[in-house]
Amino acid sequence: MVQWDEKRHALGAPEMDPTHREFVEAVAALAASGDEAFVGLLDELVAHTQAHFEHEGRLMRACGFPAIPEHEGEHARVLADLEHLRRGLAAGRIHFARHYVKEGLLEWFSNHLATMDAALAACLRYSRER
């Protein structure tokens, strides 16, 4: 089951951790949903993810994060994946969407959190301490 794990997911960045918690909770709700609720919950996840990534973009610029193009490239790829899932759902391909949510999206989030988001959190801490 997908759920927020403070030790595994929290970066100690108050600017980021609440949004990441909401993301994990939205993915969990989507993963556990029935077929009828799946489309609406995917729409909610896409809207949340867009706002989440826009927020991180502002944070990156505020602290002078050096890897903005790479970080935003990852964000753009995930949003494109989510849009691809939406089109697949419209064509009746719910099984692929479910698999991506439970496997691909969670794997991406874990890796992204441990690398790019951890580096952004360090940049934010450093900018606060200056």
Sequence spans of domains, the chain: 14-129
Q: What is the pLDDT of residue 62?
A: 95
**Distance (Å, rounded) from C-alpha 45 to C-alpha 10?**
20
Is 65:123 a contact under the CB 8 Å cutoff?
Answer: yes
Q: Encode 77-86: b = buried (16+ Cβ within 10 Å), e = exposed.
A: ebeeebeebe
Q: What is the pLDDT of residue 1?
A: 58
Which pTM does this prediction carry? Answer: 0.92
Q: What is the pLDDT of residue 44?
A: 96
Q: What is the pLDDT of residue 3?
A: 85
Q: Which CATH architecture has domain 14-129?
A: Up-down Bundle (1.20)
Q: What is the pLDDT of residue 16?
A: 97
pLDDT in tens, the chain (130 residues): 578 889 889 999 999 999 999 999 999 999 999 999 999 999 999 999 999 999 999 999 999 999 999 999 999 999 999 999 999 998 999 999 999 998 899 889 999 999 999 999 999 999 888 7
